Amino acid sequence: MLAAATACRLRQSTARAKSGRAGCLSHLPRLTLNGPQTRRSRCTLVGVDTWVKSALLQHSRPELAAPDGFTPTMEEPPRPLPLDIMAKLRFLALWFFSGAAFLCLLAFLQHQFLALPITGRGLLFPMIFGALSGLLIGSWELRLKRYSLQLAEGEKRFRTLYQNTPVMLHSIDPQGRLINVSNFWLQTLGYRREEVLGRRLTEFMSEKSRRYAEETVFPEFFRAGYLKDIPYQMVKKSGEVIHVLLSAIAEFDAEGKITRSLAVLIDITERKQAEKEIQKLAYYDTLTGLPNRTLFQDRLSQALAQARREERKVGVLFLDLDRFKAINDTLGHVAGDMLLKYVARRLQGCVRQSDTVARLGGDEFVVILPGIHTEADLTAFAKKILEALSRPVRLGEKKFFTTASIGISVFPDDASDVDILIRNADIAMYAAKDRGKNTYQFFSTEMNAKVVEKLGLENRLRLALKREELILAYQPQMDLKNDRISGLEVLLRWQHPEAGLIPPGSFIRVAEETGLIIPIGEWVLHTACTQAKLWQDAGFPSLRVGVNISSRQFDQPDFIDMVDRVLQQTGFDPRNLELELTESIVMENVPETIMTLTDLKVRGIHLAIDDFGTGYSSLSYLKHFPFDRLKIAQEFVRDISIDPEDAAIVEAITGMAKSLGLEVIAEGVERQDQLDFLRDRQCNDMQGHFFARPMSAADFTIMLKKEQIRDHGGRLH
C-alpha cells in the first residue's frame, strides 16, 4: 500500500509539472520538427523546447544532434533530454536497494511487535517486492526530473526569446500593470526596465489613447481576452509620440480569470506620416497649403448640413486677383507663386478659426463663412479682405500692389446646393470685375439671367462661325492733306438670320472669354487680306488695311506664325497691313510685347495704338515701342470743340506724336467743327461717319471706283 501511495504521489507530481509547464507557455506558438530521419507527429508542446533541446544536443553530445535537413515546423513532440548513463544506473540502484531495505525493515518490525515469524523464504518476497517498487519509483522520479529540466530550459529559452526578440512585447497583470517587457520595447521608448515594471501600461500612452484604453479597450480585453490591431499613441521618455498597433491575447486560470497577457506592438509612425503626406497631396494645395477644391467642397457640404440643422446662413466668397496674369508674365512664375502665398496668408489672417480658406486653382480663392446672420457680416468680411490685399507686397526688390474682385453668395438665399452656391459666387465675382475690379458684389437673380443669356450667346456664336454668319464691314480712312482715301479699317459684324445685324460690342467680349476670338480673329485677318488683294488685282490703289487684334490673339504663342501663314496664303503685301492694338494689350507684358512688335515690324507690317489716351498712356514706355501711328479715341473727339479738357488732350497727343515722329489719325469724326479743329492742329488723317459709314465690300468697291473717276476728272468736295 505504501508503494502504491508513493507511486500515486509521483504520478500527481508529474501531472502537475506537465500542466504547469503547459500553462505558463501556452501563449506561445507550437512547433514540430520534421526531417528525413524523423517521423511526423503532432502534439501540444511548446516550440521553444525543440530549439532548446537542439542546442543542448549540439553542445553536449554532437552525435545526438539534429541531422542535416531538419527545419522547424509546427507541432512536433519533444525528445527526452539525454542523461548520464552511470548516474541513471546509480539512481535506479539506490531506489532498488532502498525499496528492498524498506520492506525488510517492515518485516522485522512485524516480527518484533506482532510476533510474526521471520524466515529466509519470508524475507525473499519483501525484498523482491521492495526492489521492484524501488525501481518503479525511481523510474517515475527520473521522468519527473527529466520533465522538470525540460520545463526549466524551456522557460529560460522563452525568457531569452521574449527579451531579445526585435519586436515590442509586453505582459500585463489583471490590474493593467506591466510585469514584463522586451528589450526592444525599452529601446524604442527609451526607458530602463526598472522604470517601467510595476507601472500601469496607460502611463506610457498619450492622453487621448489613455482615455480610449481605460474606457473602451481594457474592459473589452479583460472580458474577451483578445485584441487585434488597436491603434494607440505611445509616448517616449523624450516626449516624442509614436503610433502603434497593439494585438494581445490573455492567459486564463482554471476559474476562467485572466492571470496575465502577451501583447505585440507594431510601430506604424512612418506609415502614419506617409498617409498624412498622401492626404495632404490629395486634399491640400501644394503651393499655399490651403485646402484644395476637393476638401473645400467637403467642408462646404458639412457647413450646409449644419446650417440646415441650426437654421442659420452660410456665406461663400469667391475671390479672383486683378491683373495677376500681368504680374505673372512680367516678373515670372516664381514671383507669381510668391504673390499667391502672400495672398493665402493674408486671407487666413482675415477669417475666424471656424472659417475655411481654400484655393481652387490659379489666382482663384474661396472662403466659407458659417454662422452668418446678416449681409452686413459678409460686407464687413469682404471689406476686410480687400483692405488686407490692398497693402503692398514686396517681390524681390520691388513693391507691388494687388487688388481682388469678390463675389458673394449666401445659403439658403441664393442656393441650397454646393455646386450652385459656388457657381453663383463665381457669377457675382465677374460682376465685380465688370464694375471696375477691387470691389465685391452680392449674387442676384439678374446676374444669373445675364449668365444664361451669355451662355446662349456663346452657343449661337459658335454656330455662327460654322454657318458663315460673320461678315466684315470696311470704313474708309481719309487723308485730308491729299484729299483722298488713304486706307480702311476692317470691322466685324454678325448677320444673324433672326436678330439681324449684331454689332461687335454685343459679342466680342464673349468671344474673348470663351476663346472663340482665336479662330474668329484669324478668319477676319484672312478675309480682309483676301479682299484687299482682290482690290489691288482689280487695279485700285494700294490701301493700308487696318485690322484690330485682341489681347487673347496677341498672347498666343503662335501669333506671329498665324500672321505669316495668312500673308502667305493670301499673297497680300505686308507693307499694306496695319495691326491695331490697345494700350492695355501693349502694357500687359512689356518685354514680350516689344519682341513681338519687333518681329512684326521687320516684316514690314505697320503698327498702330488704337484708342490712344484711354489706357495707360505711358510716354516713357511709348518711345520704346515700334509703333507707326496713334489713333485718337472717339471719346476725346466727340466734344472736342466745346470741352476744353478734351481739346487739351487732343492737342497734347498730336504734339507728342509729332515730336516722336508718329502719325496721328482721329476716329469718330462726325461733324464739321470736329474736322476743322483737327485740321487746325495738323491732324490730317481722319475717319468717321462724316466721311462714310462702315460698308460692305461691294459698296466699298463702288466708292473706290468713284474716287478713280474723280481723280481722272475732278476733285472730291
Mean pLDDT, to the nearest integer, of 131-143? Answer: 67
Question: CA-to-CA distance for 690 and 306, rounded, in angstroms?
Answer: 66
Residue 535: pLDDT band with limits 50, 70, 90: very high
Cis status, amide bond into 412, omega within 30 of 0: yes
Share of the chain above pLDDT 90, in %: 38
Using only C-alpha atoms, the chain has a radius of gyration, in whole angstroms, of 50
* 23 pLDDT higher than 80: no
Question: CA-to-CA distance for 371 and 521, rounded, in angstroms?
Answer: 49
Amino acid 332: pLDDT: 79
In Å, how far are 201, 204, 205, 235, 650 from 239, measured between CA atoms? 16, 10, 11, 6, 76
Mean pLDDT, to the nearest integer, of 490-517? Answer: 86
127 compared with 363, residue with greater pLDDT: 363
Query: pLDDT tens digits, residue range 354-366?
Result: 999 999 988 999 9
Query: pLDDT tens digits, residue range 42-64?
Result: 333 333 333 333 333 333 333 33
Query: pLDDT tens digits, residue range 373-384?
Result: 888 899 999 999
- If you average pLDDT over every residue of the chain, what do you get? 80
Mean pLDDT, to the nearest integer, of 634-659? Answer: 87
Spatial CA neighbour of 215 closest among 176, 252, 173, 251: 176
Here the cell at position 235 is 509616448
Question: CA-to-CA distance for 201 and 210, rounded, in angstroms?
Answer: 9
Query: pLDDT tens digits, residue range 152-201?
Result: 777 777 777 777 888 889 999 988 899 999 999 999 999 999 999 999 99
